[in-house]
Amino acid sequence: MIKQELILRNPLRHLGFETEDILAVGGFGAVLAHAGVGKTALLVQLALNSMLRSRNVLHVSLQDPVNKVNLWYGELFNHLASQHEGAQINKLWDSVLPHRFIMTFRVESFSAPKLEERLNDLTEQGIFKPEMMIIDGFHCDESMRPALAALKALAGKNGMHVWFTVHTHSHEKPGQDGLPASFLPVADLFDLILELQTEHADVHIKPLRGAASKTPAADLLLDPSTMLIKDHS
């Protein structure tokens, strides 16, 4: 069955996770990288895996409009399922799409109370109840610690876990545990931290916290042509 085959291509299985329960309720995960390396692409793959398992995903974008986020999902799903016949893939896509909801905010207007208000609108009307949330474009540094703490409480109350993209800068030298100095003051709030590093034409996925890789870290790569995790199984 196509659906089961795609589920087994769980993007993080190489990091020791065999099930979808990578993060507990209220847990935080982060993907760190410079601009344009593939942070959003990696999180969209995690979201697609959850959607294939009939888990609801709320994608909160603070930088891209709905149509651009939707394009990410469509392109990555088509790459993921490219070996299968078109009609079957279209049918599967239609069946998983109801498990995703895209929400956009302007960065300056985003806050945990505003997110909670919009989330309550969805859940109270029975429109959508997420189990996983992606927050793409949130600035994770010491000044945002109260906001992150509020988001963690919100996630726990609503039975979700949360993944963040974290933008890093090439001029910033790594600090403790290889984490950027600007991220260190809030790093304790995160259970799983991955970093994407470009080396020549490759994008390497480096676990910095919360994962013990089954394969050498150098073998965990994003294919720059499709932005999918290369399969080494």
Mean pLDDT of 176-194: 90
Q: Which pLDDT belongs to residue 217?
A: 46
> What are 23-60's pLDDT values in tens digits?
899 999 999 998 888 899 999 999 999 999 999 999 99
pLDDT bucket at 201, cuts 50 / 70 / 90: confident
Which one has a higher pLDDT value, 68 or 203?
Answer: 68
pTM: 0.91
Q: Which residue range forms the structural domain that includes residue 196?
A: 2-10+26-222
Q: Is residue 233 part of a domain?
A: no
Q: Which pLDDT belongs to residue 18?
A: 57
Q: Is residue 231 part of a domain?
A: no
> What are 125-171's pLDDT values in tens digits?
999 999 999 999 998 989 999 999 999 999 999 999 999 999 998 77
Q: Is residue 105 part of a domain?
A: yes
Rounded distance between C-alpha atoms, residue 131 and residue 140, angstroms: 22
Q: Is residue 36 part of a domain?
A: yes
Tokens, residue 135: 């927050």
Q: Is residue 61 part of a domain?
A: yes
pLDDT bucket at 17, cuts 50 / 70 / 90: low
Least confident piece of the model among 57-61, 68-72, 211-215: 211-215
Q: What is the CATH number of the domain that holds 161?
A: 3.40.50.300
Rounded distance between C-alpha atoms, residue 195 and residue 201, angstroms: 16
User: How many CB atoms are closer than 10 A to CB 110?
Assistant: 18
Q: Is the pLDDT of residue 12 over 50?
A: yes
CA torsion 8-11-13-17 (nearest 10°) is -110
Q: How many domains does the chain have?
A: 1
Q: Is residue 102 part of a domain?
A: yes
In whole numbers, what is the pLDDT of the chain averaged over residues?
A: 87
Provide, rounded to the nearest whole percent, the portion of the chain with pLDDT above 70: 89
> What are 94-119's pLDDT values in tens digits?
999 999 999 999 998 999 999 999 99
Q: Is residue 21 part of a domain?
A: no
Report yes or no: 144 and 9 within 8 Å, Cβ to Cβ: no
Q: Which pLDDT belongs to residue 204?
A: 85
Q: Is residue 106 part of a domain?
A: yes
User: How many CB atoms are closer than 10 A to CB 25?
Assistant: 13
